[in-house]
Chain A
């Protein structure tokens, strides 16, 4: 009998530890996979995701002291639709190393690591704060009776594993994995948003504890929000969440801060617009008025929820709890506002990355909710402690399983995928818009998000394919009229057009095609390279009339059509 009791007691100690260890192992595994993907991308010298090259072009223009908000009607028909901060942050690297794709990819990747650390700090600090309140005997801060009310806490400061799981959870999201190491500004914006919100929580918490206002702290929060907004426009949702939170806590102060914040934001906007002869407004506002596709929004919402079910449900339940039984935290408001704003993922040109901010918010809320449940269980006795210490890592393991993604291009990774009961290859037909359909081929990348062309680390064959395209372009003397910027960058030639931006402006009747059509009609470009045909119909028509496909080259799962002038 004593032996049985002893065994059970031992199980109660070791089972949670083993499960926590397994959960940590799963999320550290995702981090390793993320690092592998990033490392491979850093070495790839062409566009992996269409649009990367244009962000590099923006950076190059800034490095030369020029604005990228330009007149699309005249050669080289190039302009940017994104705010400047991400590109400006990369300028020193471009000065030092030239126009390299790895510069922006590295900065974006590091930005995701900073966000993960901020999530870790938010969860860890919440536990420590409640631990500190208990130790100091501050009864005002400690409500009892409800499960989420802060209670006696002796081990919360040791609960580092929960904070680590929340932080790594961000990097384990399929969406963050796909986009994190790309030369795209979105997750750099999420970094500023997360830093602003985590700092705001700290500032308000300290103010309420000390009774003294910390305007300097709030000023830094505003600066971070401004940085987020001038990295990408979508940060308006976080700005709204911050001011809603401030309004709930301190209405007068919220208004007092909203006025100068709006004024500074507006003045910077006006300054850039005047400096660019109005092309800033045209390219960042007019060009972003894109049609909303309900099916796309619905599909992405379903996918996001299916992949992130546990952290989303826990965050939503905790937000509802706070709505009725506690004061609403900035994290709860941030989660609700940014989740609702994720509906903008249904806009043409938008995508999965629009959920990144909601994912960061849900991880913080989940970490805090679980931490409080563990506190509560400590008061309730060892049975409850055992149940929750077992259940929480199990839930993280379940979440890890739902997020499954792994490149399988090495025998070790393929063996791990196989051991986990996952396929080692997925059959995907190369994407083509300008050639006959091709048969599906095995891709060494498995993703619970479904068929995805993002996520597979680019390989030597992709680099060779990119170089093959540049060799075809190099036969002529002009820059290529190409949908990817990478080929002209590789050859040191002009970057001609930013197709999606051009198409957006065309759809808003804000571009004049005359000069471009005339140049294509006169066969002024020795090579045209198409990937997705994101050009206005008139442009595609004239290309079809004046150019013919001579080579098809497959790179990154896309068929590139290399065209040369038709001989009359």
Chain B
């Protein structure tokens, strides 16, 4: 696996995590209206993972 592929995996994981959190809201899970504290933490974590993924993209075909 290359650094770029690893970066893309991170981005995909982050997007999936965000989508999953909003899906939970749609399914009615959670105790809070809107974005709850756990969701806020989760969103920040997912955003961080996406950020790391983006920063890995310029490293191209170097092995991960």
Contact = CB atoms under 8 A, between A and B. Distances in A.
Given A327-B63, A327-B64, A251 B1 contact: yes
Interface centre among B52, B59, B63, B64 (most CB of A within 10 A): B64
Contacts of B64: 248, 327-328
A324 interface: yes
11 contacts: A248-B6, A248-B64, A249-B1, A251-B1, A323-B52, A324-B3, A324-B55, A324-B56, A324-B59, A327-B63, A328-B64
Nearest to B38: A294
Interface in B49-64: 52, 55-56, 59, 63-64
Contacts of A327: 63-64
Nearest to A250: B1
How many chain A residues sit at the interface, stated as a range, is under 10
Contacts of B52: 323
Interface centre among A247, A251, A324 (most CB of B within 10 A): A324
A322 to B, nearest CB: 10
How many chain B residues sit at the interface, stated as a range, is under 10
B1 A248 contact: yes
Given A247-B1, A327-B64, 6 more contacts: A248-B6, A251-B1, A323-B52, A324-B55, A324-B56, A327-B63
Nearest to A247: B1
Interface of A: 247-249, 251, 323-324, 327-328
B64 to A, nearest CB: 5
A247 B6 CA distance: 11
Contacts of A251: 1
A328 B6 CA distance: 11
A248 B1 CA distance: 5
A340 to B, nearest CB: 9
Contacts of B55: 324
B62 to A, nearest CB: 8
B40 to A, nearest CB: 13
A149 to B, nearest CB: 13
B61 to A, nearest CB: 13
Nearest to A324: B59
A248 B55 CA distance: 18
Interface in B5-64: 6, 52, 55-56, 59, 63-64
7 A-B pairs closest in CB distance: A248-B1, A248-B64, A327-B63, A328-B64, A324-B59, A251-B1, A327-B64
Contacts of A249: 1
A248 B64 CA distance: 6
A327 B63 CA distance: 6
A324 B55 CA distance: 9
Given A248-B1, A248-B6, A251-B1, A323 B56 contact: yes
Contacts of A323: 52, 56
Nearest to A322: B64
A249 B64 CA distance: 8
Nearest to B64: A248
A341 to B, nearest CB: 14
A323 B63 CA distance: 10
Contacts of B59: 324
A344 B55 CA distance: 29
B30 to A, nearest CB: 14
Contacts of B3: 324
A252 to B, nearest CB: 11
A30 B56 CA distance: 41
Nearest to A251: B1
A487 to B, nearest CB: 43
A498 to B, nearest CB: 32
Contacts of A248: 1, 6, 64
A323 B49 CA distance: 13
A528 to B, nearest CB: 38
A171 B6 CA distance: 35
A321 to B, nearest CB: 13
B29 to A, nearest CB: 15
A327 B1 CA distance: 10
Contacts of B56: 323-324
A327 B6 CA distance: 11
A247 B64 CA distance: 10
Interface centre among B1, B6, B52, B56 (most CB of A within 10 A): B1
Contacts of B6: 248
Contacts of A328: 64
A249 B55 CA distance: 21
A251 B1 CA distance: 8
A181 to B, nearest CB: 37
A328 B59 CA distance: 13
A249 B56 CA distance: 17
